[in-house]
Amino acid sequence: MSSAYLQCIEESCGKRPAPRDEETTCAQCGGLFEVRYEFEPFDVEALRRAWHQRRLSGEPIDRSGVWRFRELIPFVEPGDRVISLSEGSTPMVGTRRAGWWAGPIHLTIKHQGNNPTGSFKDLGMTACITRAVARGVKMVACASTGNTSSSMAAYAARAGLKALLFVPYRQISAAKLAQALDFGATVVEVGDTFDQAFKLLREIAPEMGLYLVNSINPFRIEGQKTIVVEMMEQRAWRPPDFIVVPGGNLGNASAIGKGLRELKEMGFIAKVPRVVVVQAEGANPFYRLMRDGDAELRPVEKPSTEATAIRIGKPANWKKARRVLEWTGGLAESVTDEEIFEAKTLLAEDGVGCEPASAATVAGIRKLVRAGKIERHADVVAVLTGNQLKDTEYVMRHSAASEANPQRLSVEPTLEALRAALSKHDLVPA
């Protein structure tokens, strides 16, 4: 049997907490923990066949794009209840127009907006809520810019747990907040930024006995790393040149890097793609860290971007993400809100909808191609983290009716007025 244990990521420390402890931060050095494994011997080809065969299974655990690869996340003990909503199994979609605009490159989209609550957070949440239930937890909590909150609320409801959500005051998409409320979470609006809300939650959690499910929870990372396992399987185990993700709290980049490392060490892939993290210009501390070669992260005290999902000024997983970029020879980039909007518009022309933060990936690719850091015609996978209904206020703001924008017309309810309006904007067939 494979076995799992926690270990501090700091090489100078390496502390392993007791098996029953659910620590997220090392009391010895302040570093984050990660889940490590002693895997039992296996046959790569046999395991590939087993994963593929499970796609035909009617068992609930096999319908999950996370638990279908359960040999790679063997922290669940016999008899533990798996909390799943059939997450994962998200599509890979070619995007000809967006790829030409961004490069030209061969651009494929891995769309995590097709998950049960509409974001990639479901991959991690199934794992950490399963862990919470196994440990007898009664209440889970998170701070959130939106996607984590709705995902936590759904999986907590599924498990019969109470959910407590800390969000910055009036800084969260109404659509995401509505999801969390609909699933029964209790919402606490506190502070002006995610970072303030997260700091307060981490301080109060121990005295209230709260189980944190933010991406500092190492079991969140374990669920999220399966995105690259599924991605490689969909590509017949041929890695792309680059995998590009938006950067907020940097849990996704950390998870993808961990997944790639394990796949490479086990012999599932022959080469490792370069991981690229793209941040919004108003919330780009990790980009500046990598650009300047700093030893420590310099937080952005008042992060600002319309891409609310990545409006984070002090990402908790920056050390894990830096390690990923260093190991893969990866890159970090920063893009403006205007560049994000343009990329989102191009994706829409390919019929691909996403929330603004997701479009940062394609905007970053375009910028890196023009800088010569991604070669033309490269094989690139962009991870889109949330669907387009996650932030409908953004869409409506950018689709306001005007003479320059004929998408929204206000017309008097008469045939004459209707004919005139349609003719004026060339909407009547010649």
Q: Which residues contact 191 (CB under 8 A, 6 or more apart)?
A: 168, 169, 197, 200
**What does 5-26 look like in DSSP terms, one character per residue?**
EEEES-TTT-----TT---SB-
From residue 428, alpha-carbon distances to 81, 202, 407 in Å are 59, 59, 14
Q: Rounded to two decimals, what is the model's pTM?
A: 0.94
Q: Identify whether residues 315 and 247 lie together within a single domain.
A: yes
Q: Identify whether residues 359 and 261 lie together within a single domain.
A: yes
In a domain, 237, yes or no: yes
CB 252 within 8 Å of CB 385: yes
Q: Residue 127 corresponds to which tokens in the numbers above?
A: 């794992």
From residue 258, alpha-carbon distances to 92, 163, 199 in Å are 21, 28, 26
**Across the strands, what pairs with 166?**
143, 188
**What does 178-211 look like in DSSP terms, one character per residue?**
HHHHHTT-EEEE-SSSHHHHHHHHHHHHHHHT-E
In a domain, 41, yes or no: no
pLDDT, position 430: 62
**Across the strands, what pairs with 211?**
140
- Of 363, 342, 339, 354, which is closest to residue 391 (Cα–Cα)? 354
Q: Residue 99 corresponds to which tokens in the numbers above?
A: 């790829």
Q: Identify whether residues 110 and 8 lie together within a single domain.
A: no
- Of 84, 88, 183, 75, which is closest to residue 131 (Cα–Cα)? 75
In a domain, 195, yes or no: no
From residue 371, alpha-carbon distances to 90, 103, 116, 296, 378 in Å are 31, 11, 37, 26, 14
In a domain, 84, yes or no: no
pLDDT, position 428: 78
CB 110 within 8 Å of CB 241: no
In a domain, 135, yes or no: no
pLDDT, position 404: 57
CB 190 within 8 Å of CB 212: no
CA dihedral 225, 231, 233, 235 (to 10 degrees): -150
For residue 128, give the amino acid letter.
C
Domain range spanning residue 18?
A: 1-36
Q: Identify whether residues 315 and 379 lie together within a single domain.
A: yes
CA dihedral 106, 107, 108, 109 (to 10 degrees): 180
Residue tagged 């991870």 (tokens):
383
In a domain, 42, yes or no: no
Q: Return the SS3 of 128.
A: helix
Q: Residue 344 corresponds to which tokens in the numbers above?
A: 């989102």
In a domain, 338, yes or no: yes
Q: Return the SS3 of 176.
A: helix
CB 226 within 8 Å of CB 73: yes
Q: Identify whether residues 244 and 352 lie together within a single domain.
A: yes
How far is 389 from 39, CA to CA, in rounded Å? Answer: 40
How far is 259 from 222, CA to CA, in rounded Å? Answer: 8
Q: Which helix (H) or strand (E) holds 212?
A: strand 211-212
**Across the strands, what pairs with 36?**
5
pLDDT, position 403: 53
pLDDT, position 78: 87
pLDDT, position 111: 97
In a domain, 176, yes or no: no
Q: In total, how many domains does the chain have?
A: 2
**Across the strands, what pairs with 334?**
279
Q: Residue 274 corresponds to which tokens in the numbers above?
A: 């370069």
DSSP-derived pairing of the beta strands 211-212 and 139-143? parallel
Q: Identify whether residues 294 and 362 lie together within a single domain.
A: yes
Q: pLDDT digit of tens for each residue in the chain (430 aa)? A: 789 999 999 989 999 988 777 778 898 898 999 999 999 999 999 999 999 999 999 999 999 999 999 999 999 988 899 999 999 999 999 999 999 999 999 999 999 999 999 999 999 999 999 999 999 999 999 999 889 999 999 999 999 999 999 999 888 889 999 999 999 999 999 989 999 999 999 999 999 999 999 999 999 999 999 999 999 999 999 999 999 999 999 999 999 999 999 999 999 999 999 999 999 999 999 999 999 999 999 999 999 999 999 999 999 999 999 999 999 999 999 999 999 999 999 999 999 999 999 999 999 999 999 999 999 999 999 999 999 999 888 888 887 544 555 677 889 999 999 999 888 888 877 6
How far is 375 from 326, CA to CA, in rounded Å? Answer: 19
pLDDT, position 406: 67
